[in-house]
Amino acid sequence: MKASDNSKKATSKFTAEERRQMCTLAWIAGAAVSVTDQVGGIKAEAREVEALRRAVASCFTGYQLKSGENLSGEEPSVFDYDKAESLLAAAAQDTLAMLEKKDTPENIDVYKKGVLEVAFQVANAHGAGFLGRGEAISATESAMIDKVAQALKATHLVEAARADAVVKKTK
């Protein structure tokens, strides 16, 4: 006798394209921060790209726990890092409009905070300047993070995202 499987796979309130859109916004935010400060050469750039990959893969954990939605951190197949800043405002506007139709304000804030954490983790990836004596996040990176927060309408979440990103970096 075959045991019946009573568990049903949870259905998502988002289409595959909408989940991809949510992940792409996180990539855009991190890439916009990465390309703002070209100090440190190829090694710094490689650290930031790797930090971006790791941050996007993990940034939606809080959102998934809160909402039950599983978002893949998969890198978009077509993505131009150098155009990330110019794509940011429209991508944020489109994604937020979609989220506002389908999710709660609390879950949307969790999502926004996750995207901000990606930006902070990328900014922190380069380090603290020469011999560790400089600022961990440069002024240009900080300004871009502010632009990300404004595009997300999430300036109220910046400090919490900064704190959580620092904790994740030290783990």
pLDDT of 29: 95
In three state form, how does the secondary structure of 61-112 look?
HHHHHHHCCCCCCCCCCCCCHHHHHHHHHHHHHHHHHHHHHHCCHHHHHHHH
pLDDT per residue over 26-84, tens digit each?
999 999 998 887 666 666 677 888 888 888 888 788 888 888 888 876 677 677 888 99
Give residue-wise pLDDT tens across range 87-96.
999 999 999 9
Q: Please, which pLDDT band fits residue 6 given cuts at 50, 70 and 90?
A: very low
Span 163-171, average pLDDT: 69
Residues 49 and 53: their CA atoms lie apart, in Å, by: 6
Residue 107 pLDDT > 80, yes or no?
Answer: yes
pLDDT recorded at residue 170: 54
pTM of the predicted structure, to 2 decimals: 0.84
Residue 140 in this model has a pLDDT that exceeds 70 = yes
- Overall average pLDDT of the 7-11 stretch: 55
